[in-house]
Structure 1
Amino acid sequence: MTDTQEIENPGSSFTQVLDAAAKLPGVRINRAAYLRTALKRFCTEEQIQKAIADSPAAAGIPLKVITEAANTSIAYETGKVTGLSTLAGIPGGLAMAGTIPADIAQYMGHMLRIAQKLAYIYSWPDLFVDDGDEVDEATESMLILFVGVMFGVQIAQGGVAKVANMIAANVAKKLPQRALTQGVIYPIVKKVAGYLGVSMTKQIFANGVAKAIPVVGAVLSGGLTLGTFLPMSKRLQKHLASLELTKPGHRPEEAELIEAQIVS
Structure 2
Amino acid sequence: MEKQYTEHRRTALLSEPALNRLLSDREKRVQLDWPKRYQIILGLARGLLYLHEESPVKIIHRDIKASNVLLDEKLNPKISDFGMARLFLEDATHVNTFRISGTYGYMAPEYAMNGYLSTKTDVFSFGMLVLEIVSGRKNIDRHLGDEKVDLLNYTWKLSEEGRSLEIVDPGLSGWDAGEVAMCVQLGLLCCQAVVSDRPDMYSVHLMLSSDSFTLPKPGKPAVHGRFFFEKTIRRSYVSKRNPVRRYNSDTQMGRSRH
Structure number, greater radius of gyration: 1
Check whether TM > 0.5. no
More helix by share: 1
TM-score tier, shorter chain, comes to 0.3 to 0.5
* Structure of higher RCO (CA pairs closer than 8 Å, 6+ residues apart): 1
Which one has a larger percent strand, Structure 1 or Structure 2?
A: 2
TM-score (ref. length: structure 1): 0.32
